[in-house]
Amino acid sequence: MSILLYAESAEGKFKKVALELASYAKKVADSMGTTVTALTVNATDVSELSKYGVNKAIKVSDSKLTGFSAKAYSNIIQQVAKKEGSKLVLLSSSTDSLYLAPLVAVSLQAGFASNVIGLPVSTSPFQVKRTAFSNKAFNITEINTDVKVISLSKNSYGVVENASTLTEEDFNPSLADSDFGIKIETVEKSSGKVTIADADIVVSAGRGLKGPENWGMIEELASVLGAATACSKPVSDLGWRPHGEHVGQTGKPVATNLYIAVGISGAIQHIAGINSSKVKLVINTDPEAPFFKVADYGVVGDAFEVVPKLIEKLKVFKAQG
């Protein structure tokens, strides 16, 4: 009857969202008087999960699962949930898990709550707090089904170490050729940079930078902060930056600890996609830019003057320890 979580990994290593989900699961398990089981797929070393409260790791290893297949992965989660008798299944809010969650819920005949932002308000009845209306409001959702599936919003709980004793078990799921109906031809990955998915800080820029040749200072600021770089939709549409860096409601939603927007006016779709970020800093020459209405901190000024000075000050600050 343990809580089951799907611990996402890439190239054998666990993603930050997996460790956050494990931390969250441990706290929920303690309140419900049960244990935490993690399902891993092609992870090279599962021992790391013991640092975050996982009691049992169920390991699936299959070369056919190297590329993500929502149908195959959801089928595996369903099989493990039934094998373990899990009544609560936890997923993250990553792109992969957004595909998985509804498939898992349907296969388990489970109620599903997305965008969960905290520990359950109540476990009997089971109620969770969620964001709604593009992060403009909150609601309390009650799940009455026997099996429950929830997805945790990124950076809503944090990564918390809570050591446990871990047991490991290999599992061979029953999969059919029909579970692999989509074939992945190529995968393009950025290397040597902090990814948007794992970043605690994102530095994003828009058309205010006037051209791709000026992106050097954005990359330098991101490097100093240990941040990921991102951009607005018009910038990716113009080909100034890769589409993988486009953040917002129509791109990659982000929920970082700090979001820095440079030269972005703040279209409603962009704001909706980054509104879950805890602190938002906006740098723009236009004091009437919509972004200032939702910003925690705002600088009215020319990015070509403000950003270099900010980089300089940050370097001095870091040098002083």
**What's the chain look like in SS3?**
CCEEEECCEECCEECHHHHHHHHHHHHHHHHHCCCEEEEEECCCCHHHHHHHCCCEEEEECCHHHCCCCHHHHHHHHHHHHHHHCCCEEEEECCHHHHHHHHHHHHHCCCEEEEEECCCCCEECCEEEEEEECCCCEEEEEEECCCCEEEEECCCCCCCCCCCCCCEEEECCCCCCHHHHCCCCCCCCCCCCCCCCCCCCEEEEECHHHCCHHHCHHHHHHHHHHCCEEEECHHHHHCCCCCHHHEECCCCECCCCCEEEEECCCCCHHHHHHHCCCCEEEEEECCCCCHHHHCCCEEEECCHHHHHHHHHHHHHHHHHCC
Predicted confidence band at 33 (pLDDT cuts at 50, 70, 90)? very high
For residues 165-190, average pLDDT? 85
Q: What is the pLDDT of residue 177?
A: 85
For residues 311-315, average pLDDT? 96
- CA 88 to chain CA centroid, nearest Å: 20
Predicted confidence band at 198 (pLDDT cuts at 50, 70, 90)? confident
Backbone φ, ψ for residue 269 (5° rounding): -70, -35
Q: What is the pLDDT of residue 191?
A: 54
Q: What is the pLDDT of residue 255?
A: 87
Higher pLDDT, 131 or 146: 146
Give the Cα separation of 229 and 215 in Å (integer).
10
For residues 115-130, average pLDDT? 95
Give the Cα separation of 268 and 271 in Å (integer).
5
**CA-angle at 58, arms to 54 and 62, nearest 5°:** 140
Predicted confidence band at 190 (pLDDT cuts at 50, 70, 90)? low
Residue 22 has pLDDT above 70, yes or no: yes
Give the Cα separation of 149 and 100 in Å (integer).
11
Residue 120 has pLDDT above 60, yes or no: yes
Residues 6 or more apart whose Cβ sits within 8 Å of residue 237: none
Report the range out of 99-113, 134-148, 234-248, 250-264 with the highest average pLDDT: 99-113
Backbone φ, ψ for residue 36 (5° rounding): -115, 130
Residue 305 has pLDDT above 80, yes or no: yes
Give the Cα separation of 258 and 280 in Å (integer).
6
CA torsion, ordered 308, 314, 320, 321, to nearest 10 deg: -150
Asked whether the bond before 308 is cis by omega within 30 degrees of 0, the reply is no
Share of the chain above pLDDT 90, in %: 79
Q: What is the pLDDT of residue 199?
A: 86
Backbone φ, ψ for residue 203 (5° rounding): -105, 115
Give the Cα separation of 158 and 19 in Å (integer).
9
Q: What is the mean pLDDT of the chain?
A: 93
Higher pLDDT, 173 or 250: 173
CB-CB contact of 256 with 201 (8 Å): yes
Give the Cα separation of 99 and 69 in Å (integer).
9
Least confident range of 142-146, 187-191, 238-242: 187-191
For residues 192-204, average pLDDT? 83
For residues 109-118, average pLDDT? 96
